[in-house]
Amino acid sequence: MLSLELACRRAYVLAMQGTQPAVAEVAALVGNPARANILMALTDGRALTASELAYAAGVSPQTASEHLARLKEANLLVLSRQGRHSYFRLSSPKIARMIESIMVVAADGPRRYRPRWNGDEQLRTARTCYDHIAGRLGVALTDALTGRKLVLLTEDGGMVTRAGEKFLVGFGIELDEAREGRRTFCRPCLDWSERRPHLAGALGAALAERCFDLGWVVRIRGSRALMISANGERGFRELFGISLNVEKDAPAAAKRTVTA
């Protein structure tokens, strides 16, 4: 009887191992500090070379190569070649979402586990989260859209109202293109620094792309932080009702705050 019970338990464990996602394996990969830094460096949606990622990870090129191989084997990264150069990027937006979610959890943990970033207030004010805008600016944009009932968000999805369609098309966003493909059209993404949602999905990406095209926000080399231009300050204020306040006697990028 006992042997039968043990056999059943063994069969159950084997069945669970064969059908459950490899959570432990993925967690072990992400849990390594160097690999975590590599993944975080790629959460802005760009593709970077192995040398750039070695610098971001704080390891030698040889060590970085080993880490990149493991991440690629686990389908967390994909490799693309352009001429003599090879570039790595996240395999899908789901990977960036996973990293952001871990950072949200870490931010509520003991101080030694809390996320640290280069850029301080500059990064917190405006940054990329894969291909959409995060930080205070991303949250303020989302508040403006939802407050005016242009976009309706639930816990894991969202939709654009008729008034929202008119507003966003007038802003220059091609909604039909954003709705194409298998990607979720509109959803909230919990912002790890603000602990409130910013707009993600295909719509969030289209909104960010339009802001880049208008020159309202500009990427800062070597960082996920975004610089808000003078035209951007004016445009965000006039169109979205977002006020960007700069404290005196301090670098503008470091002391800029966003309110909606």
CB 138 within 8 A of CB 199: yes
pLDDT, residue 113, reads 55
> Distance between CA 160 and CA 157 in Å, rounded?
11
> Distance between CA 226 and CA 137 in Å, rounded?
10
Burial class (CB in 10 A: 0-12, 13-18, 19+), 182: exposed
CA 46 to chain centre: 11
Beta strand 243-246 with 226-228 is unpaired
Angle at 243 (CA atoms; ends 238, 244), nearest 5 degrees: 120
Q: What is the pTM of this model?
A: 0.66
CB 205 within 8 A of CB 131: yes
Give domain limits for the chain.
Answer: 2-91, 121-259
The CATH class of the 2-91 domain is mainly alpha
Per-residue pLDDT of the chain (260 residues), as tens digits, is: 445 444 544 544 444 455 556 788 888 888 899 999 899 888 877 788 899 899 888 899 999 999 999 999 999 999 988 777 889 988 888 888 888 778 777 766 666 655 555 446 778 899 888 889 999 999 999 999 999 999 999 888 899 999 999 999 999 999 998 898 778 899 998 887 888 889 999 999 999 999 999 999 998 877 788 999 999 999 999 999 998 664 433 344 434 445 55
Q: Which two tokens stand for residue 126?
A: 């405006």
Radius of gyration (Cα) for the chain, nearest Å?
Answer: 21
Assign 114 to helix, strand or coil.
Answer: coil
pLDDT, residue 182, reads 79
Name the phi and psi angles at 241, rounded to 5: 70, 25
For 203-221, give one letter per residue: b (16+ CB within 10 A) or e. bbbbbbbebeeeebbeebe
